[in-house]
Amino acid sequence: MAMSRLLPALVAVAMIGTLAACTTPDAEGGIPNPPSASATAAPAPTPSVSVPVVRATPTPPPVPSPEPTALVLPDLGVDMPVDPVGVQADGAMEIPTDPAVAGWYRFGPAPADAAGATVIAAHVDSRVYGLGPLARLRDAQPGQQVSVTDAAGTTTTYVVESVTYIPRAQLPVDELFSREGPRSLVVITCGGSFDERTRSYSDNVVLVAREA
Amino acid sequence: MRKTLTAGIAVGAVAALAAFAPAYAISDTTADLSVLHGIPDTPVDVYVNGELTLDDFQPGDLAGPLDLPAGDYVVALTAPDAADDSAPVLGPITLTLEANKSYTAVAHLDADGAPTAKLFTNDISATDAGQGRLTVRHVAAAPAVDILAGGQAVVSGLANPDEASLDLAAGTVSAAVALAGTTDPVIGPADVTVSEGALTIVYAWGSAADENLALAVQTVSGLHSGPDGVNTGEAGLAAENGSTGWLFGAGAALLLAVAAGSVLSVRAANARR
């Protein structure tokens, strides 16, 4: 009775253990050390599964990928510097004050990362600085090239897939800021109608491009 | 003029980017289990449901995570190279794993130095953009402690085998452990990286009497969420409604200026007369 209940669980443990052995462990800190099989003469059993094991000692922070430093859309005459940015106190993405400077969301992927979307945003305008280069973002066409140069001097080129107006309150941030999926570039600014009372635009203008 | 798309179409347009998975989801039928060995000087073999699963598991080592079907698992720790689990040094104990949860089973010393084990449930709920989660667990043969970050107590009076969690801005924390009510570290200080969108679990383990207290660190990533929005304009200079707001205001101001200018020129003209 007990055995018949345990058997399926054992099989499941063995199967899943095999799968887990092929993947990197969630625990950071390096290469899993497979348990060493004992070579003693005793009839000691060997594990039926291979479980990744790491030392649980504190590890230095992972080396970050080089940050983007320039965003270029040649067809629109846009060539602007990029600074790393984070999150404002209100939870919104931090945006450089000067619309001529774009911000790269530093908690998300960079162009050198293996997966996910590099997100770069800039103000479309400012009461102090006037119109910014991304006022032209709405004119981008699918098929045009966009490139991002990073601090290591590497330029990654993307091809525009879409330019979309999305009401700001409905911006699908979790999709746009995805850390999984194909290497892509998302460029965001504002557009649509303007409400003087709230001093804000109705929409985000969102350009999505994939690595060329 | 381009029209604003409805949200549904817009989401469809960008959803092609990636199959969006909500913050850390395991599955509706399985759980994640990691195992931490926190009993000093005692390598063990770990048996799960009678089957050798971890061979020669060393103190300070972290195994897993294993994605296991929800249910009960019988775990026993034996001396290394035991023939089976009939003479465990710890256990057998039954771990009940619920689906879509993350667990860490810790073999450790109780406050008085006797070997024991505890199944902790890891808080893998989503973190706010820019934040990471820090969980501290006291699994050492030691009295209650305070956890210090940058010299300040952030957790007070934590006793074996309790835990405490806080979400904080991502970054590096200089973490130390002091006996409750004191600030003289018994462990650390050590730099602990609290990554954005990740759970960082710090264990105080070992034995105060044997002077082998140490920190162990486990991380679970994938808890991140996007920022609340992207607000990128304030002047209305790029507005496509063309009538309201700042543009109108600017236009009105310009008209006023022109009008004022004409008045002035009229006055000047009058003055010249």
pLDDT in tens, B74-87: 999 999 989 999 99
- Cβ of B130 and A87 within 8 Å? yes
The verdict on A79 and A105 lying in the same domain is yes
Does the complex come out with an ipTM higher than 0.95? no
Chain B residues inside the 8 Å CB shell of A169: 229
Phi-psi bin for A48: left (phi > 0), alpha (psi -120 to 50), beta? alpha
Domain that holds residue A115: 68-211
Task: Find the CB nearest A52 among B64, B234, B245.
Answer: B64
Condensed to tens digits (0 to 9), the pLDDT of residues A151-199 reads: 999 999 999 999 999 999 999 999 999 999 999 999 999 999 999 999 9
Q: pTM (2 decimals)?
A: 0.78
The verdict on A76 and A34 lying in the same domain is no
Task: Find the CB nearest A56 among B30, B36, B81.
Answer: B36
The verdict on A83 and A42 lying in the same domain is no
Nearest residue in A to B24, CA atom? A26
Per-residue pLDDT of chain A (212 residues; tens, 9 = 90+): 444 444 444 444 444 433 333 333 343 333 444 444 444 445 667 887 788 899 998 878 778 899 999 999 999 999 999 999 999 999 999 999 999 999 999 999 999 999 999 999 999 999 999 999 999 999 999 999 999 999 999 999 999 999 999 999 999 999 999 999 999 999 999 999 999 999 999 999 999 999 98
Question: Which residues are CB-contacts of B99 (< 8 A; sequence separation ≥ 6)?
Answer: B26, B27, B28, B29, B30, B31, B70
Given A31, A60, A89, the domain boundary residue is A60
The verdict on A141 and A188 lying in the same domain is yes
The verdict on A103 and A201 lying in the same domain is yes
Cβ(B11)–Cβ(A171) below 8 Å: no
The verdict on A101 and A188 lying in the same domain is yes
- Cβ of A208 and B231 within 8 Å? no
The verdict on A120 and A186 lying in the same domain is yes
Q: Which residues pair with B78 in a beta bridge?
A: B45
What pLDDT sits at residue B151? Answer: 84
Helical H segments across chain A, by residue range: 2-21, 173-176
The verdict on A169 and A114 lying in the same domain is yes
What is the tally of structural domains in chain A? 2
Given A36, A60, A84, the domain boundary residue is A60
The verdict on A145 and A170 lying in the same domain is yes
What pLDDT sits at residue A61? Answer: 78
Given A37, A60, A83, the domain boundary residue is A60
The verdict on A56 and A73 lying in the same domain is no
Q: What single-letter amino acid sits at A2?
A: A
The verdict on A105 and A137 lying in the same domain is yes
The verdict on A144 and A206 lying in the same domain is yes
Please work out, in degrees rounded to the nearest 5, the angle formed at the alpha carbon of residue A143 by the alpha carbons of A138 and A149.
Answer: 80
Residue A182 is part of a domain; what is its CATH number?
A: 2.40.260.10
Residue of A23, A33, A87, A98 best to disrupt the B interface, most CBs of B under 10 A: A87
